Amino acid sequence: MKARIKWIQNRTFVGEFCSGHSMVMDDYPVTGGRNIGFCPTKFFFSV
């Protein structure tokens, strides 16, 4: 399985998977994010 992480701005990233699906990852506003997607750490531990 291949995946690619693309930096958008600040703490916002998009994960792109070989299946063609993508997912927005972001962080909490207190750490510089905008809270518009999954927190990468929480997502990682939920998989």
Structure tokens at 33: 């994010």
Residues 1-47 have pLDDT tens digits of 788 999 999 899 999 989 999 999 998 899 889 999 988 778 777 76
Residue 22: predicted pLDDT: 92
pTM score, whole prediction: 0.71
Beta bridge partners of 14: 6, 24
Contacts of 41 (CB under 8 A, 6+ apart): none
| Strand segments (E) across the chain | 3-9, 12-17, 22-25
